[in-house]
Amino acid sequence: MPQHTVIPVLSEEVREALEGGQPVVALESTILAHGLPRPRNLAVGEELEAIVRSEGAVPATVAVLDGVPWAGLDKEQLERIAGGEDVRKFGHRDLAPAVAARATGATTVSATAFLAARAGLRVFATGGLGGVHREWTHTQDESADLALLARTRITVVCAGVKSILDVPATLQRLETLGVTVLGYGTAHFPGFYLTSSGEPVDWTVHSPEQVARVMAAQDALAGPASALLVANPVAEAEQLDPALHDRVLAQALEECRERGITGQAVTPFLLDFLVGATGGASLEANLAAVRGNVRLGARIAAAWAEPGAGAAR
């Protein structure tokens, strides 16, 4: 017999903020544990939380520690996620066995969005979403992020989907799944390391208040729960050189194929290969994108926390 419902345990700070109607931003931990090189990842985790605070919101980094899902980590918990060799990568389908086995792991976009929504959080900021991989016809590799976001009411600020993916196919899947995509200050879908993927978006917004109005309209329409993607491009001055990007990405995909890397290991491998092959430039572009998303996420959370948020004005 189940004894209690496992929902994420909230840090005191996150609990108080939610109770008081203060803005809270969920942050994922896979980018820290598996998407960034150590030891820089810990500094980045701390920096992202500081950005959220500087905008007057509370950060809720999500991870699973000894089988307990958390929203809001203390310093020691964040250090464990950033430092441990034995920190696994959990998508939402991994949560039940992880809880049962008291395992420790970082949460991907799918697991973070799921847990954050369960905890009552509405805004989540990350780097680039997972999506349809370029080898999809052979591997059927499509990130679980997409299907989970198609049934979870949460606003996700991202720099598009990772450019290692098949971006047009991913956009098509998002359309099929009924996930709303807003370009933030752009009519083009961002390209993660690149300001633009070259693909158009149907809707453009220009302020956090406008995003909050779309969120309020989602609730008013009361349709099937689905996410709202706010696609926020990295500044042109901070993007990876597009020619370098295309050249090294081709090498990365080739290497991945030759080594027979599959499943959850594909994304971390490609990201890490790009860091090496660009002499660290892809890392800087990735970080610039994430910082911008986290800042915007905090501003959207603040607009959403305003009394009467989403009212036309």
In angstroms, the CA 269 to CA 261 distance is 8
In angstroms, the CA 49 to CA 160 distance is 21
Task: Please give the residue ranges that form the binding site for Mn ion (CB under 5 A).
Answer: 141
- Closest C-alpha among 98, 102, 123 to residue 113: 123
Element spanning 254, H or E: helix 242-259
CB of 143 to Mn ion, least distance (A): 5
Omega within 30 of 0 (cis) for the link into 59:
no
Residue 287-306 contact track with ligand PSU, rule CB under 6 A, x = bound: ---x----------------
Which is closer to Mn ion, CB of 141 or CB of 209? 141
Task: Candidates 31, 182, 194, 215: give the one binding ligand PSU (CB under 6 A).
Answer: 31
**Any contact of residue 232 with ligand PSU (CB under 6 A)?**
no
Task: Candidates 41, 61, 108, 210: give the one binding ligand PSU (CB under 6 A).
Answer: 108
Task: Candidates 61, 126, 152, 196: give the one binding ligand PSU (CB under 6 A).
Answer: 126
Cβ atoms within 10 Å, residue 254: 11
Spell out the residues 6+ positions from residue 178 whose beta carbon is closer than 8 angstroms to its own.
Answer: 150, 224, 226
Task: Candidates 82, 109, 212, 228: give the one binding ligand PSU (CB under 6 A).
Answer: 109
CB of 237 to ligand PSU, least distance (A): 19
Which is closer to Mn ion, CB of 89 or CB of 295? 89
**Looking at the annotation, which residues are catalytic?**
28, 162
